[in-house]
């Protein structure tokens, strides 16, 4: 019995209000209705049957990472007998703290999220009602997580929690440290050796994306990010040592205890600018050392940012061209390189949605039964900007083509009532063949 049929025989309001359902009622419930009921009991956090409900969380420590940490994390994750992603997850969380890394990654992710799409039937018609079912936060999270597999490697996404009407309310990205991909299991604790299988009976609720051997682009650019962090740390040390004038304290007191007190005062003065001295004791501020160049730090950090941009976007002209000299044409070529990656990301997401997501959703809950048999495809025409669309329309009309004026009005936002050929063009009536004109009256 389907969800709609069951609701006709048993009021949905009764399901949601009655918290003491009989065993007979529970046995008669379809699985999706049972999950709705359990979700309502648990404050919309799922029925407790999902794997993530039993995961043990860990505190996050953002300790400095080194090349050695990267090497150990990659070695552990690529162990052919028992890959462990715990250290790789900790490394990635640390690498993503870099503002430039966040920016270039979000550039690729956000472009996919803002791309228009259609859900098309077998007959080629766009189903607008079905598109509304995907206009939800959980779907945006799903698409974002799918794109992030390009940077972080294999992911397992959980689609389980629903609201009182059976609609999905979240997409959970299983923490990488809990994955046991060889056995397709999720460990209770990060780095655990045994876990719960996410295939078999639970396969409908878990989507595996990416390949186990692919650790993602973050693994490849980790050395650039870590080198940049080291340069920034060295710059902070430079400022601490040479950016503040030295404090010189003079005293005639040879008592070691008093000298220790004065030393402590000098150290504290860097922060408080207050010192209490005695007798003929004096202190002076020295000159800030000159001759040291800080451009070395900035040049190195800029170089690392450039390498990161090239790895993620394929070019650095649209991110690091503030001081560079580039022609408009060269920048357009660089933007085209970035567009190639965008098209690759879209194709990857489209395949995952068509092969993994859309077939699952009707099985997860009959709320999504309308999606059965539909195909996800990107709406390329919708991505043309209004200005470009109008310019294209002008070129087509000048070439002699007739356009749908209603469609042109809707797409351009400009009311178009009719068409009049520009003076002097081939379509101008005054330029018609004289032989076709009617003879002049005598």
Question: What does the angle CA 133 – CA 139 – CA 141 come to, to the nearest 5 degrees?
Answer: 160
Note the pLDDT tens digit of each residue in 294-305. 788 889 999 999
User: Are 215 and 268 within one domain?
Assistant: no
Residue 400 covered by a domain: yes
Beta bridge partners of 249: 283
Domain boundary among 193, 219, 245: 219
User: Are 15 and 98 within one domain?
Assistant: yes
Residue 424 covered by a domain: no
Note the pLDDT tens digit of each residue in 316-339. 765 665 554 455 455 555 556 677
Beta bridge partners of 172: 158
Query: Structurally, how many domains does the chain consist of?
Result: 3
User: Are 26 and 60 within one domain?
Assistant: yes
Residue 89 covered by a domain: yes
| Residue 180, burial from CB neighbour count under 10 angstroms (0-12, 13-18, 19+) | buried
This prediction's pTM: 0.69
Residue 337 covered by a domain: no
Cα 200 to the center of its chain, rounded Å: 29
Residue 329 covered by a domain: no
pLDDT band, residue 10 (cuts 50/70/90): very low
Give CA torsion, residues 107, 113, 115, 121, to 10 deg.
150
Q: 412 is in which domain, residue-wise? A: 384-419
Note the pLDDT tens digit of each residue in 86-131. 999 999 999 999 999 999 999 999 999 999 999 999 888 989 989 9
User: Are 148 and 79 within one domain?
Assistant: yes
Residues with Cβ within 8 Å of 161's Cβ and at least 6 positions away in sequence, in order, are 39, 44, 45, 46, 50, 168, 169, 170, 172
Nearest alpha-carbon partner for 116 in 439, 343, 377: 377
User: Are 173 and 254 within one domain?
Assistant: no
User: Are 246 and 112 within one domain?
Assistant: no
Higher pLDDT, residue 167 or 27? 167
Asked if residue 30 has pLDDT above 60, the reply is no
Q: How many Cβ atoms from other residues are within 10 Å of residue 296's Cβ?
A: 13
User: Are 395 and 414 within one domain?
Assistant: yes
Note the pLDDT tens digit of each residue in 379-394. 876 555 666 777 787 8
Stretch (H or E) spanning 8: helix 3-9
Stretch (H or E) spanning 140: helix 137-152
Cα→Cα distances 202→102, 155, 184, Å: 33, 16, 12
Asked if residue 34 has pLDDT above 60, the reply is no
User: Are 58 and 179 within one domain?
Assistant: yes
Question: What does the angle CA 348 – CA 191 – CA 207 come to, to the nearest 5 degrees?
Answer: 25
Domain boundary among 313, 345, 361: 313
């Amino acid at each position: 019995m389907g969800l709609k049929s069951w609701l006709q025989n048993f009021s949905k309001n009764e399901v949601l209000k009655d918290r003491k359902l009989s065993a007979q009622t529970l046995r008669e419930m379809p699985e999706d209705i049972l999950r709705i009921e359990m979700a309502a009991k648990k404050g919309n956090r799922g029925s407790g049957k999902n794997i993530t409900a039993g995961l043990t969380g860990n505190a996050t420590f953002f300790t400095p990472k080194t090349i050695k940490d990267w090497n150990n994390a990659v070695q552990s994750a690529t162990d052919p007998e028992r890959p462990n992603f715990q250290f790789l997850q900790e490394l990635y969380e640390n690498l993503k703290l870099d503002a430039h890394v966040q920016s270039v990654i979000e550039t690729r992710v956000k472009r996919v999220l803002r791309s228009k799409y259609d859900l098309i039937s077998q007959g080629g018609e766009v189903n607008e009602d079905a598109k509304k079912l995907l206009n939800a936060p959980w779907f945006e999270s799903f698409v974002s997580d799918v794109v992030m597999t390009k940077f972080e490697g294999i992911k397992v996404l959980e689609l389980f929690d629903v609201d009182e009407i059976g609609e999905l309310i979240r997409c959970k990205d299983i923490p990488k440290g809990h994955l046991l991909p060889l056995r397709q299991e999720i460990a209770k604790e990060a780095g655990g050796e045994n876990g719960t299988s996410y295939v078999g009976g639970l396969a409908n609720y878990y989507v595996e994306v990416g390949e186990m051997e692919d650790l993602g682009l973050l693994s490849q650019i980790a050395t650039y990010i870590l080198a940049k962090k080291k340069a920034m740390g060295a710059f902070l040390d430079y400022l601490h040592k040479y950016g503040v004038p030295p404090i010189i304290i003079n005293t005639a007191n040879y008592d070691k205890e008093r000298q220790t007190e004065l030393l402590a005062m000098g150290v504290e003065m860097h922060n408080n600018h207050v010192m209490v001295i005695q007798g003929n004791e004096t202190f002076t501020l020295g000159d800030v050392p000159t001759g040291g160049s800080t451009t070395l730090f900035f040049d190195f950090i800029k170089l690392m940012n450039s390498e990161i941009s090239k790895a993620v976007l394929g070019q650095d002209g649209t991110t690091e061209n503030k001081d560079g000299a580039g022609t408009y044409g060269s920048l357009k070529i660089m933007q085209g390189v970035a567009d190639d990656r965008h098209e690759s990301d879209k194709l990857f997401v489209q395949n995952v949605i068509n092969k993994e997501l859309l077939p699952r959703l009707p099985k997860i809950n009959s709320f999504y039964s309308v999606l059965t048999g539909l195909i996800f495809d990107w709406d390329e025409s919708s991505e043309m900007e209004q200005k470009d669309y109008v310019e294209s329309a002008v070129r087509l009309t000048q070439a002699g083509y007739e356009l749908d004026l209603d469609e042109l009005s809707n797409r351009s936002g400009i009311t178009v009532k009719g068409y009049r050929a520009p003076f002097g063009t081939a379509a101008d009536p005054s330029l018609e063949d004289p032989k076709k004109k009617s003879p002049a009256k005598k």
